[in-house]
Chain A
Amino acid sequence: DIQMTQSPSFLSASVGERVTLSCRASQNINKYLDWYQQKLGEAPKLLIYNTNNLHTGIPSRFSGSGSGTDYTLTISSLQPEDVATYFCLQRNSWPLTFGSGTKLEIK
C-alpha cells in the first residue's frame, strides 16, 4: 500500500496569512492526489483534484501543486471559515489511501 504522510499534523495561523500544508507519498503517485477539507461534524469536501485542479465552487485562495511523491495545498489568505482538518488522498493505485490529516486553527 502507498503510505501518505501529512505535515504538520497541527497548524495555527493568523487570518490573512499564507498557509502551506504538505503531503508526501511513499512512492510516485503521478499527480493523482486530491485534497479534502473536513469541518467538525461534517463529511469531507473535495477542494482540489489531480494535484492542482480546483473543484467546483471552491474559493480561488485554495491551490495545489506537486509531483512525484511531494504535494502541497496552499491557502493564500487564511479565512476564519477555513478552520478544519485537511486530508490528502492518493488515487494512483489500489487501495486508495488517505493522509492522517492536518488540523488547522486560527491563531
Chain B
Amino acid sequence: EVKLVESGGGLVQPGRSLKLSCAASGFSFNDYWMGWVRQAPGKGLEWIGEINQDSSTINYTPSLKDKFTISRDNAQNTLYLQMSKLGSEDTAIYYCVRRGWCDYWGQGVMVTVSS
C-alpha cells in the first residue's frame, strides 16, 4: 500500500523557517518524481514544486521560488520542504504528492504562521 506521511508542521512565528518531511512507503520511492502542494484554509490548491528521482531537476512555481527549497533522501525514502521567511500567507495545509499522475497524496500537515 502506498503511503505518504507528512510531519514537521505546527505553529511558527512570522519570519522564521520550518522544514517539513514526507515519509514514503509501499512503492519504489527513487523511481518517482515527487512534489508539494499547499492549501490555505478554505481555499484552493496551489502547486509549490517538484523534484526528480536523483534531485538533478527541481521545479518551483515562480511566485514561490524564493521561499521554498525541495530536497529528498532516497536512502531514507523521504521528501523535504524547507520553508523560509514565513508570513501569514503561508498558513496552509501542506501535502506531499507522488508525481506522474499525482495519484497519491499524504494526509497533509498544518502550518500556522502567527505571532
Contact = CB atoms under 8 A, between A and B. Distances in A.
Given A43-B95, A43-B107, A43-B108, A98 B102 contact: no
Contacts of B50: 96
A95 B48 CA distance: 8
Nearest to A91: B102
A1 B46 CA distance: 12
Contacts of A95: 47, 59-62
A46 B47 contact: no
B47 A97 contact: yes
A95 B59 CA distance: 8
Contacts of B45: 36, 44, 87, 89, 98
Contacts of B61: 95-96
Contacts of A87: 44-45
A53 to B, nearest CB: 8
A20 interface: no
B44 A46 contact: no
A98 B47 contact: yes
A50 interface: yes
Interface residues of B, number: 19
A89 B62 contact: no
Interface string B23-67: 000000000000100000000111100100000000111100000
A100 interface: yes
Contacts of B101: 34, 46, 49-50, 55, 91
A64 interface: no
B68 interface: no
Contact of B102 (A1, A46, A99, A101): A46
A89 B39 CA distance: 14
A46 B103 contact: yes
Interface of A: 1, 34, 36, 42-46, 49-50, 55, 87, 89, 91, 94-101
Closest 6 CB pairs of A and B: A95-B61, A49-B101, A98-B45, A96-B47, A43-B105, A100-B44
Given A34-B101, A49-B103, 10 more contacts: A43-B107, A45-B105, A46-B102, A89-B45, A94-B59, A95-B62, A96-B50, A98-B45, A98-B46, A101-B44
